[in-house]
Structure 1
């Protein structure tokens, strides 16, 4: 699962973090700039991300978001017993924790990520999974290669053209294939990204679709995230050729007392933090 964590970063693994913070702004960012920023950001921050969140994600769990909804419990891809022998593509796989869980169920997963450093962490955790470094908008697979596709906070929030990604997923899925992806719940864009009480008051328009960008001193984007309303997401799914089967908004469980960026028990008990779209290819 890939998710945003902002802060200082190192240009190479093991180097001290730089002191200069990027400038946060809202401005246009096209497909090329978004992709370039995402690759660089995740390569720089993969070590910190896995260090901070690896314990929660585990080595072989399939977690849909900070709430802790587990695929073993949710069965959004189908019953675990039905996954045996299926070809599954995980997009934005990070260190491939979800793919490792799928493999344990007898599936044949392929873990794809834009970040080379994230995939190095996948190798650190354990070898044996097919790992592919590629852009989600240009999937390097033949038509009809997979039975299922999934993404837990990977790729979709960071691309300028989600319909292009969805059409690519549609292309590589076999008829009847299921595509399930999770993103930050769109309502969260109206609130400050803070876990405490300051994150409970509306501070921006929910309908403002201008991307969130962090840029360096030269004005080049080093992090980009794109906002789509809930209706936008549904329309994108349909435009990508899919039928929306379910929209899951996980509730915050009593056992989860952790904070993760702007996700927290306080906010999670009041407003949704994650939206999971369950789609099928006819």
Structure 2
């Protein structure tokens, strides 16, 4: 769940980026932003909980992963790994992975606070350091998927490490949100961009080097990526903004949330045959 803090006024553009430039920007961004991100959102996410989105949908209620007791679970883009610690309490054998050393440092601090320790791995989601068929389930809440150029390759890599019958669940910003400005107020209610423009959102420094990159895909793109990697789509969840939730998270707000979806959660399965 991404919020770009206004600590500086970056040059903002929409342009193609290479996989290397994207990866470098993402790692440096999250290393630098890990502390402020956790300070801003740690109380909402918890130390031992799996919250799928700013709308506040929790795995304890949604059960999108199914029964995980006795299964092996991989969390990609785990951040502070609150979701992995919660799944550990549900009886899963959990591994939490992130590209950012800064976020994994926050995961270790949260483990100390909560007393729940899970294995942490620093690695690129496009080159998972696991044997094929290692896990029963893979998941991420706004991790990895929005920050990778070649998400077709990501889907194939996730499929590789899953066993037949394994489940892959990930949440991202709802693709229709890319039509609007990242404004939680009235300014965020007017369509200004083409839904079909897949150019990534890029913040860059004075030298034109990307410092933050976020990718856009349409709903159809995501489904084709999944199917192309051999997955079967089980569900597409679009959480509604709950009554009484008055929090604002970046461009997520009660005003916008009551009018159109802010999050898309894809639930897919690697066929058993």
What is the TM-score of this pair, normalised by structure 1?
A: 0.93
What is the DSSP-based 3-state SS (H/G/I as helix, E as strand, rest coil) of the residue aligned with 2:268? strand
Q: Which residue of 2 aligns with 1:53?
A: 41
| Ranges of 4+ aligned residues in structure 1 off by more than 3 Å | none
Q: Which residue of 2 aligns with 1:136?
A: 125
Question: What CA RMSD, in Å, does the superposition of the two structures yield over aligned residues?
Answer: 0.9
CA contact (8 A) 2:247 2:254 kept: yes
> Is residue 219 from structure 1 mapped to residue 218 from structure 2 by the alignment?
no
Q: Which residue of 1 aligns with 2:232?
A: 243
In the TM superposition, residue 152 of structure 1 has moved relative to its aligned partner by 0.3
Q: Which residue of 2 aligns with 1:161?
A: 150
> Is residue 189 from structure 1 mapped to residue 178 from structure 2 by the alignment?
yes
Runs of at least 5 residues in structure 1 that lack an aligned partner in the other structure: 9-19
Matches within 5 A, 1:173-188: 173-188=162-177
Matches within 5 A, 1:52-91: 52-78=40-66, 82-91=67-76
> Is residue 117 from structure 1 mapped to residue 102 from structure 2 by the alignment?
yes
Runs of at least 5 residues in structure 2 that lack an aligned partner in the other structure: none
What is the DSSP-based 3-state SS (H/G/I as helix, E as strand, rest coil) of the residue aligned with 2:169? strand
What is the DSSP-based 3-state SS (H/G/I as helix, E as strand, rest coil) of the residue aligned with 1:126? helix
Q: Which residue of 2 aligns with 1:16?
A: none
In the TM superposition, residue 231 of structure 1 has moved relative to its aligned partner by 0.6
CA contact (8 A) 1:5 1:49 kept: no
What is the TM-score of this pair, normalised by structure 2?
A: 0.96
For 2:162 and 2:103, locate their aligned partners in 1 and report how far apart those are by CA, in whole Å: 25
Q: Which residue of 2 aligns with 1:97?
A: 82
In the TM superposition, residue 4 of structure 1 has moved relative to its aligned partner by 3.3
In the TM superposition, residue 84 of structure 1 has moved relative to its aligned partner by 1.1
Q: Which residue of 2 aligns with 1:42?
A: 30
Q: Which residue of 1 aligns with 2:5?
A: 6
For 1:44 and 1:155, locate their aligned partners in 2 and report how far apart those are by CA, in whole Å: 17
In the TM superposition, residue 277 of structure 1 has moved relative to its aligned partner by 0.3
For 1:146 and 1:121, locate their aligned partners in 2 and report how far apart those are by CA, in whole Å: 24
